[in-house]
Structure formats: structure tokens, C-alpha cells
Amino acid sequence: MRLTEQQHVVIKQTLLKHFGAASELRLFGSRVDDSARGGDIDLYIEPEIQQPDDIVEAKLNALVELHRQLGEQKIDLVINRKQGVHLPIYQLAKETGVLL
């Protein structure tokens, strides 16, 4: 996993703060591959909160906080709301991602 310990802690604390302590968090994509270089930070979230308006607010607030603490870099949040539509990216992220 190509995150520093500080990045790992910041990401986990920030996402749990905004999406709920019982949320499932995974890093997936190129940052999981230790031999790769560069790439954005792809994060998969199964949030504890479930109301669409709350999820939108949490996403915006989490991204602002992550950019403030980690600097300007590409961060993608893939949010799987349990009552929502199931997208193929959700299965890919769960199968290839690393729990945070």
C-alpha cells in the first residue's frame, strides 16, 4: 500500500469522522500496488450514514479536510450506499482493495 503512515491515519480519521465510525473504508486502485508509481488516491466507502443529503455533505466536507491535510492531490471517493444502485466498481473495490 503506497500511503505513508501519516496519510493512512489522516484518511481513516477523516472519513470515519464524516461518514460514521462504523463505515467500511478501503484503498483500491494503483495505490494498492507497491511497485507502481504516482496515481490518485482511490477510496471505497460503505458509510454508516445512509441519507443521501448527509452523504453528499459528508463527501464534500471530507474532501475539503483531506485536501487541507494532505495537500492538493487527486482523491476519488467511491461511496456505496447500501440502499442505492449496485455498480461494478463496488465489487472491484471490495475484491482488490485493502481495508484501512
pLDDT tens per residue across span 46-96: 999 999 999 999 999 999 999 999 998 899 999 999 887 889 999 999 999
The structure's pTM equals 0.92
Do residues 44 and 25 lie in contact, with contact meaning Cβ atoms separated by under 8 Å?
A: yes
Q: Work out the pLDDT band at 17, boundaries 50, 70, 90.
A: very high
Say which residue, 26 or 1, is predicted with more confidence: 26
Q: Kindly state the helix (H) or strand (E) to which residue 91 belongs, with its residue range.
A: helix 88-96
What's the pLDDT score for residue 26? 97
State which fold the 5-99 domain adopts: Beta Polymerase; domain 2 (3.30.460)
Q: What residues contact residue 31 under an 8 Å CB cut-off, 6+ apart? A: 1, 2, 3, 39, 40, 41, 42
